[in-house]
Chains A and B, each alone.
Chain A
Amino acid sequence: MNLNVVDGVEGGEVMKRHMTTPTGTATGTGTDTGIEMNLVSRDKVESMGSMEKLRFILDGVKSGNIVVLEGGLTAEEQMKLIELTMMEVDDDFTGIEISGYPTKRSFLNLRKKTRLTVIGPAAKMKTIRKDKDLISAIISTT
């Protein structure tokens, strides 16, 4: 399954999308092999403290979900997330795949504005292409 995230998409509060793959329905076994996606709005992201945000992301990813944050994470938060991830890597959880749009300078060039960050389990998600306004990733359901 391919996931394309393009700049300009507005999110809801926390919208959960359950995506069933063609493989899952084709087998006709009745078992749901879909991937859960958590699309988190900027308001929700901004309402959380830094550590709360990272815990929310990592809990979601460790459950096998793809987490998409409108507004994204700062470089410092991403580094902290990598550190936190490394503390929790074991035989089953091998880490995260993380991708994000580069920051933009805000009005008067005073502050860097983060945009969008996608985080998923390394075992399931692989970024295949990334540029300033497009992230293309493969999501594996096996």
Chain B
Amino acid sequence: MSVIAPKFRLGYFIKALLDNIFWAVVLLTLAGIPAIMILLFYIDLPIIDGQILTPFLAFTWMTHPEMSVPLVKAFMQTDFFRIAAFPGFGFGALLAAGVIFVERKMLAKLQLRVGPFYCGKVEGILQLMSDGIKLLTKEIIIPAKADKPIFWVAPLLFVGTAAAFVSLIPVAPKTVVADIDVGLLAVFAIIGFFPIITVLSSWSANSKYPFIGGIRALHQMISFEIPLILSLLGVVILTGTLNLSEIVESQATYWWIAFLPVGAIVFFIAMLAELERIPFDLPEAESEIVAGWLTEFSGMMYGLVQLGSYLKLYAFAGLFVVLFLGGWQGPMVWPPFPEEIVTEGITMGPVTAQIPGLPLFSQEMLNGTLWFILKTAAVIFFILLPRGVFPRIRIDLLLHVGWYRLIGLSFVNIFIALGLLYAGVLGPEGIL
């Protein structure tokens, strides 16, 4: 049990919270509401069924199920919902939070520690929230002579780039934020930004340990980017497309890991290195260089970098699932939507509500999402597992592994793919 710092006063903390709420309310009333008024004054409100759609009428409709369900369905097709909630940022952040929780529990189990067990009585379920509040209320210290704008912006850029990576991962049929024809090349382009952000933040901190960590991160990400890119060429040769959704659709009968296990293993190892996880966590080696390139980050800035790195972890695991494990493909296990609800409505006690257009999600989408999450969780488990088991490797060994072994193996993988194609096993006349 830690002792609460003697200078901490709960009253001051509550006062600070109330002050912030007060200023938020004042700003909203003085600036927000007049802005909405001015906007409504200049916008031509649409006329629906002979009525002018005033904000009041719109809010009334939203509580009416016959009106609200189609509205909700239409809203779920918009870019904003996709980016903010379902296949995008909210989904990724939720999975990232789950990964952090599971990682702490699992490492504690592996290393026979009790682990964070006390928050929230049930298996430490509130640990994440307490971590968040702790990070939020810590002082942000910026070292003297640091390059302040870059130092402030670096965590935000890291989170943003990781989120841009998440936007390319298809979760279920037609459920992807950005469906790009050259999705795989876009993935490589986004991965290429991470070393730049790392080096920028480490150089701007004006401190020696972040600098050493940044240089290490640069070397590591650079040497493992080429095996990463080459190991995926086999999949592209066999499918003939760079669109990630089409790559998933090509795996309806067989997953590519069955034909290209070498590429999958090379990609997995390169993925561990790009994620800076043990055994490749040289940039953050806490027993050698304090915390590597994260040394000078404190408070919420550190929290944002952690959020970004776990979003990146989810995106890489999702990419592995999409390319090698068949994405959303799997047997239909989701129960079908009962017909009575559409025809007879929902009966809750004395009230029966007839709600048209009810199945918000189709059965295929729910089933695909379920399989995608299950497979991603399995891949994330294998990414987390080495952390409890392996030591850290030396930097010259790391470069040797990257440049000699993995590149050779990824060329072997390319020739396996070419052989399968030209032997007629796969491809246009093959078994697929």
Whether A associates with B in a native complex is no
Chain A residues in the interface with B (C-beta under 8 A): none
Chain B residues in the interface with A (C-beta under 8 A): none
